[in-house]
Each structure stands twice: as C-alpha cells, then as structure tokens.
Amino acid sequence: MSGSSPTLVVSPDPASPDLARTLDIAGYTWKAITSGGPVSENEPEGGWSGAIVDATSDPDGAWLFLRNLAKQGDRTLPVLLLVSGAQLSELEHREQLFDDFCLSPFHPAELEARLRHLLASDLDIQRAELVEYGDLTLNLETYQASIDGRSLDMTYMEYELLKFLAQNPGKVFTREILLSRVWGYEYYGGARTVDVHVRRLRAKLGEEHANLIQTVRSVGYRFGQSRWES
C-alpha cells in the first residue's frame, strides 16, 4: 500500500476475527501487538496513524497498554477503545487514555465510521448545512463543531448525540429514545452510555455552556437554555 494509507496498531495480539475482517475489508494496514509490547516496535516509517485497543477479552491488559502508551509519550496517537456494555463503568475517570469507544460486538459500518472520524485531520471547511444554536455551530458535512469560535474535539458518537439534541432544542428525550435515535436499533449497551456521553460533552462545551444539555430529573435530557433560573 502507499505511504499515505493509514496504518493502525491493534492490541491485543491476535486481533479478534471480527476486527481483523472489518479492517481488512475496509482496506486498512494494521499490525497487532501484545498488551505489554512497546508501540514503537515494528512502527512503520511514516508512523502509526491510530490505535485500536480491544478491552473485551483482557480488560487489565488493555488498560495496561493504554497507560504504557501514555508513558511512552505516544498519547497524541488517536485511540479507539472496544468495550462491552458491561464495561461502561470502567470508562469513568479514564477518558484521558482514549479518544473514542465502540461497543462490541460492533457493526462494521459503525466501526469504519468511527475510524474515519478518528483519523480525520486538516479537513477543509466547505459550504455545508450548518446547525446553529446560540454560540454553537455544527458543520454537518465536515463533522466539525465550534462554540464561541473555539473548536470542539469530539468523538463520532459525541458529535452524533450533540447534533441530534441541537436539531431538537427544547424537547425532552428519555435515555431509551436517545439510544434508539442516535445509536440505532443494533446498539448492544445500556442507557448508561448516554450519561457517559453527556458528561463528556458537558466537559468539552466548558463550564459556561455545559447547561446547554440539561438533566430532566426522572426523565432524561433536554437541549437548550433552561426556562427557569436558579
């Protein structure tokens, strides 16, 4: 393959059959290494483009790999984490170790979409449909978002959730409806993933704008400024 082709490092070794098949069909160049192996080993001349870490079979090994990645100074490498629905609670307070996560078993189309978004860089701003709410702007063509002119670095599903909410301001959605409308009918996890994504979105929006996504007690979430003031 050409030098411009994305080359991914995958852990653990061997990669699961489903992951290996998806990457091969999508045309990615990749190499699996053990959880304890240094990422610099067998690194291609152009460097790694990203990492996929599968935590479903060996969670301890996966977190060890990610911690080693950070210690080796390779945390700038985009990381996609594969987890099961039962592992969502393990993501809390570890967000600094990965950039996006995908629930396994996964749909190949979803994994490919997440990888495209994860590896995208220097996208040209083109004329496209925009979703705007106050200081928030979402470009639906380039998957870029900004608030107060500040670019927001979001994962694929964070963007999809924010886009859906911003397109429906003032409406209250239960977690189950958000799972159905944003994640789709093939989603395998539970409602907790909505809370995880909302918490991460609020942090990225910043303290000044975190209240754009409001919690409606015992119901779900609503996007838009509150109609009451504390």
Q: Which of 91, 71, 72 is nearest to 81 (CA)?
A: 91
Residue 3: pLDDT band by 50, 70, 90 thresholds? Answer: very low
Helix boundaries (H) for the chain = 17-26, 59-71, 108-119, 156-166, 175-178, 192-205
pLDDT in tens, 197-221: 999 999 999 999 999 999 998 899 9
- Does the structure show a pLDDT above 50 at 55? yes
- Does the structure show a pLDDT above 70 at 2? no
Quote the mean pLDDT of the chain.
83
- The pLDDT, as a whole number, for residue 127 is 40
- The pLDDT, as a whole number, for residue 185 is 55
For CA atoms 138, 142, 148, 152, the dihedral sign is positive
pLDDT in tens, 56-80: 988 999 998 898 887 776 557 889 9
- The pLDDT, as a whole number, for residue 227 is 39
Q: Mean pLDDT over residues 46-54, rounded?
A: 87
So what CATH class is 130-222?
mainly alpha
- The pLDDT, as a whole number, for residue 186 is 55
- Does the structure show a pLDDT above 70 at 122? no
The conformation of residue 197, written as its DSSP 8-state character, comes to: H
Token digits for 68?
């080693």
By CB atoms closer than 10 A (0-12, 13-18, 19+), residue 154 is: buried
Q: Mean pLDDT over residues 14-40, rounded?
A: 85
CA distance 214 to 224: 7
- Does the structure show a pLDDT above 60 at 49? yes
Residue 189: pLDDT band by 50, 70, 90 thresholds? Answer: low
Strand partners, 132: 137
Domain ranges in the chain? 7-119, 130-222
The conformation of residue 28, written as its DSSP 8-state character, comes to: -
**Total Cβ atoms within 10 A of residue 115:** 24
Token digits for 101?
């996560």
- The pLDDT, as a whole number, for residue 126 is 37
Residue 117: pLDDT band by 50, 70, 90 thresholds? Answer: confident
- Longest distance between any two alpha carbons in the chain, whole Å: 59
CATH ID of 7-119, from 1.10.8.640, 3.30.530.20, 1.20.810.10, 3.40.50.2300? 3.40.50.2300
